[in-house]
Amino acid sequence: MNANKAIAEVFGTAVLVLVSVGTAVLAGGFLGGSTLGVALAFGLTLMVLAYAIGHVSGCHVNPAVTVGMWLSGKMDRKEVPLYIVSQVLGALLGAAILLIIANGTDGFSIDNNVAGAFGANGYDDLSPGGYNLLAAAVSEVVFTMIFVFVVLGTTTRRFPAAAAGIAAGFALAIVHLVSIPVTNTSVNPARSIATNVFAGGDYIPQLWLFIVAPVVGGILAALLFRFLNPDEFAGHVEPLDPTS
């Protein structure tokens, strides 16, 4: 049922934002601002979610993944809007819950003049490493392409389905390890919409990049995947059930 898929994507994306961004916002000080800790939080959360809701919706929890799945012939285009809307709503829900928790301690505030405020994504002065627009755009396109390509690779007939969540989770962790200093790592428009909206300030006019670049990356991943795997398109391929 479409309702089941929508609820699964809302839940999954909310958990991804709450736990992964929450690691940076709530536990960042205890981890010493560790890039490794945040990267592992994103990767491990996605891995767990893949086994929790993969059999329901495929566990996209990311519009770039949904676009890649559609262009790779792995889902009906009529479901794409449902998935993307569900992901954005889930991300906003996760960010709202995170904000409520964060406000539970004295002195918490979102300083949207600093890089990485509330886990938001940015470039120039809002880049953790001070990277400019071009560097941020290239980073988001390329690393989203790598991540989505790995996800698509786990849906081939030859890939062991039980390992899909592990591969996807590690791929997400790896791209975070490299790109957190550049943009605070988006590779997921829904996650960026939520964090940038809640951060506010100059994060809002920069949001366009973290919607456009990951989608472009997802498109490029699908094109490369189709080129390298022509045998996958003899018929419709259903989204992967990573628990099978």
Percent of the chain with pLDDT over 70: 92
The Cα-based distances of 52 to 20, 134, 193 in angstroms read: 16, 37, 24
Residue 86 corresponds to which tokens in the numbers above?
């569900």
The 10s digit of each residue's pLDDT in 204-231 is 999 999 999 999 999 999 999 999 988 8
pTM: 0.92
The 10s digit of each residue's pLDDT in 135-157 is 999 999 999 999 999 999 998 87
Assign 157 to helix, strand or coil: coil
**pLDDT of amino acid 27:** 83
The 10s digit of each residue's pLDDT in 115-142 is 999 999 999 999 999 999 999 999 999 9
Residue appearing with tokens 């309702």 = 3
What CA–CA distance (Å, rounded) separates 202 from 122? 9
Q: Helices in 79-155 by DSSP H: which ranges?
A: 80-102, 133-153
Smallest Cα–Cα separation from 82: which of 154, 143, 13?
13
